[in-house]
Amino acid sequence: MLIELLRKRRSIRQFEDKPVSSEQCDILIEAAVRSPSSRGFNPWEFVVVKDKNRIVQLSQAKSHGAAFLKNAPLAMVVCADTSKSDVWIEDASIAAIIIHLAAADLGLGSCWAQMRLRTRDDGSSASDYIAGILDLPEHIQVEAIIGIGHPASEMDGHGANTLLYNQVSYEKFGQRSYS
């Protein structure tokens, strides 16, 4: 069940030095292209990267929060065609979580590295840097990079006592229980 998958899923930033199989990669790609989108416009685009040198380059895309990618055997760059939809950010984000859940379902670990609106140490755009590495045309924008691989260690899911139920309202904002 989905709730069981959600209960055990964690962001994984440390991976074994073991490739993601072609079959697993194919399933991740299928999951990604099955992602729902607003009005069925499907603006998302995915760049699947297995080349170690290219992954290392991608890990240097922004100042903080992407270094873990250098040890991932697989990176899925989640992009979107901005000319197809005004809600491409939401559609790409939905696709990214579908990839995360599919990876968890396969027993793989994954972690999202946000790239849209992020900068490099020199102040330049992380997205522009990635576009240069991947030969992306101007109308294709990067949302995130998801590092995927076999987890280096097992991690328990977040405990129920850590969940932010205090941020749930019922019927109207601030009402913390059903009346």
Using alpha carbons only, how large is the chain's radius of gyration in Å? 17
Residue 41 lies in a domain: yes
pLDDT in tens, 23-33: 999 999 999 99
Residue 51 lies in a domain: yes
Per-residue confidence band for 66, with pLDDT thresholds at 50, 70 and 90: very high
Which whole number is the average pLDDT over 163-174?
A: 95
Question: In whole angstroms, what separates CA 56 from the centre of its chain?
Answer: 17
Instruction: Report the pLDDT value the prediction gives residue 116, as an integer from 0 to 100.
Output: 97
Residue 174 lies in a domain: no
Contacts of 84 (CB under 8 A, 6+ apart): 41, 42, 43
Domain CATH number, residue 23: 3.40.109.10
**pLDDT at residue 179 tops 80:** no
Domain limits for position 106: 16-152
Residue 141 lies in a domain: yes
The whole-model pTM stands at 0.95
| Of the candidates 47, 10, 15, 21, the residue with the CA atom closest to the CA atom of residue 32 | 47
Residue 128 lies in a domain: yes
Residue 1 lies in a domain: no
SS3 category, 78? strand
What are the residues facing 119 on neighbouring strands? Answer: 125
Task: Give me the number of domains the chain comprises.
Answer: 1
What are the residues facing 112 on neighbouring strands? Answer: 146
Residue 139 lies in a domain: yes
Residue 122 lies in a domain: yes
pLDDT in tens, 77-133: 999 999 999 999 999 999 999 999 999 999 999 999 999 999 999 999 999 999 999
Identify residue 167 by its one-letter amino acid code. Answer: Q
Instruction: Report the pLDDT value the prediction gives residue 178, as an integer from 0 to 100.
Output: 87
